[in-house]
Amino acid sequence: MNPGWLRWSSILSAARRQMLVNSVAMTKLLEKAFAEAVKLPKKEQDKLAKWLLAELESERRWDEAFARSEDQLAEFAEAALKEHRKGRTKQLDPEQL
């Protein structure tokens, strides 16, 4: 039996258990992706896992950053609208960028 398959299989089993505890279901597409991932050589599985974990961490950091800056973004938006209402803005021309 492929040791890489065992690792992904145990990760998938742990994920399923965690989802049951949290009453969350894995989509069929994600299950299919994991099923294909277990067929990859160990090195490729590790590359895929590192990429996926990095992407998930990046998304988490972006979510946190936006959540922390929500008030500041609202202030910036209000200031920009005030400038626009006073006629101090101009239409953006992408060709001029």
pLDDT tens, position by position, 38-93: 999 999 999 999 999 999 999 999 988 888 888 888 899 999 999 999 999 888 88
Domain carrying residue 23: 1-39
Tell whether 35 is covered by a domain. yes
Instruction: Quick: pLDDT tens for 2-50.
Output: 555 566 667 667 676 666 666 667 788 988 998 999 999 999 999 999 9
Statement to judge: residues 64 and 49 lie in one domain: yes
Tell whether 97 is covered by a domain. no
Tell whether 92 is covered by a domain. no
Statement to judge: residues 54 and 35 lie in one domain: no
Rounded distance between C-alpha atoms, residue 58 and residue 8, angstroms: 22
Tell whether 31 is covered by a domain. yes
Number of domains in the chain: 2
Query: For 25-54, b where at least 16 C-beta lie within 10 A, e where not — what string?
Result: eeeeeeeeebeebbebeeeebeebeeeeee
